[in-house]
Amino acid sequence: MSALATAPPPTSTGLMTADKFWEFCHRPENEHRTFELIRGKVVEMPSPTKRHGRVCLRIGYFLERYAEDKQFGYAVSNDSGLILEEEPATVVGPDVAFFREAKRFEDMEEKWSEEIPLLVAEVMSPSDSMRASLAKVGEYLTAGVAMVWLVNFEERFVTVFRSSSGVPVTLGEFEDVTGGDVLPDFRCRVGEFFRLPGEPAPQPPAAP
């Protein structure tokens, strides 16, 4: 998601820590607002569109189904806070993330996650620039995320980035996105991320 505005951090140094950011986000006046902390600076985020939320839900659905089938890991969504860096502090909200740890709900971290996920899916909003989106992908990979999916629902493709390879792969809606060695045996047609219940599954155009 794109940034809307920068809020003044309540610190003398001008850089906010993750703990201070937690307090800032939970002030009564910020109850219905969403923020990220980028290298100590608070950035307000826009509300996502309905299509954006739908695509996030679909991606989370397929990842959670994989987790259930394999009895491995779990998915989170709704911009759940993730600490990418402590000094200076960076706390972001991935659209969808897949973690390997925790066997019980009670074992999950109560606040933001310090555990780096195996996979992050970032769904581009219409206002997002490719430059800003790629910069965020780079931050995830630098922090140790093994695989990042950059999802474009307007043009219906997914670009896959891996920490083990500097060459991204772009997949169209009639191709399958896989988990590789990060999520073994995961496979889903890209077009399934952009479908409503009862809507026909995407089919490739007939050969001329």
Per-residue pLDDT of the chain (208 residues; tens, 9 = 90+): 444 444 444 444 578 898 898 888 889 998 888 888 988 899 888 888 999 999 999 999 999 999 999 999 999 998 888 999 888 889 999 999 999 977 788 888 888 888 999 999 999 988 788 888 999 999 999 999 999 999 999 999 999 999 888 799 999 999 999 999 999 999 999 999 999 998 888 778 776 6
Q: Is residue 208 part of a domain?
A: no
pTM of the predicted protein model: 0.86
Identity at 117, one-letter amino acid code = P
Q: Which two tokens stand for residue 11?
A: 């610190």
CA 39/CA 106 separation, integer angstroms: 30
Q: Is residue 148 part of a domain?
A: yes
**CATH no. for residue 108?**
3.90.1570.10
CA 206/CA 130 separation, integer angstroms: 31
Count up the domains in the chain and report the number: 1
174 CA to centre of own chain: 22
Q: Is residue 89 part of a domain?
A: yes
**pLDDT score, position 33:** 86
Q: Is residue 140 part of a domain?
A: yes
Q: Cis link prior to 88 (omega < 30° from 0)?
A: yes
**pLDDT score, position 112:** 87
Q: Is residue 118 part of a domain?
A: yes
| Residues forming beta bridges with residue 35, ordered by sequence position | 44
What DSSP assignment string belongs to 27-83? SGGGTT-EEEEETTEEEEEPPPPHHHHHHHHHHHHHHHHHHHHHT--EEEETT--EE
**pLDDT score, position 55:** 97
What residue numbers bound the domain in which 81 lies? 48-194
CA 24/CA 10 separation, integer angstroms: 8
**pLDDT score, position 194:** 96
CA 85/CA 92 separation, integer angstroms: 10
CA 179/CA 181 separation, integer angstroms: 6
Q: List, in sequence order, every beta strand (DSSP E) within 8-162.
A: 34-38, 41-45, 74-77, 82-86, 89-92, 96-99, 119-123, 147-152, 157-162
Q: Is residue 4 part of a domain?
A: no
CA 4/CA 133 separation, integer angstroms: 15
Largest Cα separation within the chain, whole Å, is: 67
**pLDDT score, position 4:** 40
Q: Is residue 119 part of a domain?
A: yes
Q: Is residue 20 part of a domain?
A: no
Kindly calculate the radius of gyration of the chain based on its CA atoms and give it in whole angstroms: 18
**pLDDT score, position 12:** 42
